[in-house]
Amino acid sequence: MKHAKPNHRQTLPGLLNLAGLLFISGLLALGATGCGDERGATVPGDVAVDDYEAMDLDKAYGGLTYSDESPAFGDAELEAMSLEDQEAASDDPLQDDAELAGLEAAALGGDDPAAPPPPTVIALRLTWGQLDGAPEDIREEVQGLDWSGRLRVDRGLVVVRRVILFERPRDHLVRPRPDRRTVAWVSHTGPHFDGLIVEVVVPPAAPDSASAGTPAPVMLHLVTPLVALDIPVAELAGLDVTHPVDELGNALRLEGHRVTDEDLCPKGFLGGIWKADRDSTTVEGGVFKGRWVGLWGRLHGFVRGRYGLDSSGERVFFGKYIDRQGRCRGMLAGAWEAADASGRGGFHGEWHNAAATVEGVLGGEYVHAAGRPAGVFSGRWTTLCDQEAAESLR
């Protein structure tokens, strides 16, 4: 994929792939911009007067300014996403488990080379159903497809950290749990999708098994009526894959991050609406807007912007990332790929702070199939301090 070319007429540096993320604490540059500190030390500054309907893709950040916004950009669809977030809490009893807490602490241990190998901890987001479903279809009551299934690992723990758009009580997690390394659910989707964010924790192999030779890879097993997968846990970090199941847009999507210290090196997921200017997969422009969440799905803020062609024909996008109070956290710049015959394409980019310094990268996939009123995008973001995650997104 080509990166967006720098605009040498502007004072800001080269504009690259798509973006937006949590603002790292301690960036003194924010103090000179009027944008608030995410720790709440200041109140939002003047609300922006940026015109998202008249962005100029030949300008730095499409002409957007590093300025605060109304909460959720004052957008009704984004406000509805915020309400959906309040219904996403998981009731998995393992969230408060003592063994889990010990393994998490060991995974975030020090740099002692003599210490035993740390556990592997992965945040995995799964979504299934009609992934390009329109927002107004979320609560439409239809029987739909049966995605009821289970996920387990050969060794370790699996914890449900977030549910995504479950229509409770019809859609629900199975209780009691089958066991500590297995989760199961009941889910049916119509013109939209459901999903989960799970934590996968695998302790290191026991010393006696390691001395007997190379241990077999620990596998994650996912089974639903429509698709079944066996994936090595070692491959979950950086995972970004979609498995279509029919011609209607129904698919299973998986996105993964290795869990590190979130305070020192934040990362997470993003997703929302990807809408072309006209109802066609060949249209070279449109808007995007959606949610910015942490590793376990907690809402951090929102993104909004435009994708399209600049005057040289390059596919670029620009936007802004704000926190839940509307405070500016980053400017987005990146590139996107043309959709294939199924309406699927990709995007990759960066987000910059007020000093025009790159803070992190993001990327993922969008879906906008012909005949649908709108599309969606889904992806991951990370700060640059996690080199493994950053490389998986470039």
Structural tokens at position 299: 């809402």
Question: Which pLDDT value is given to residue 47?
Answer: 63
User: Residues 107, 118: contact at Cβ < 8 Å?
Assistant: yes
Question: Which pLDDT value is given to residue 167?
Answer: 87
Residues of the chain short of pLDDT 50, as ranges, are 1-44
d(Cα 300, Cα 288) in Å, to the nearest integer? 17
Question: Which pLDDT value is given to residue 6?
Answer: 35
Question: Which pLDDT value is given to residue 132?
Answer: 79
Backbone angles phi, psi at 78, to 5 degrees: -70, -35
| Sheet order of strands, 149-153 included | 172-173, 182-186, 149-153, 219-223, 228-232
Question: Which pLDDT value is given to residue 12?
Answer: 29
d(Cα 126, Cα 226) in Å, to the nearest integer? 14
Contacts of 314 (CB under 8 A, 6+ apart): 2, 4, 5, 335
Question: Which pLDDT value is given to residue 111?
Answer: 64
pTM score:
0.84
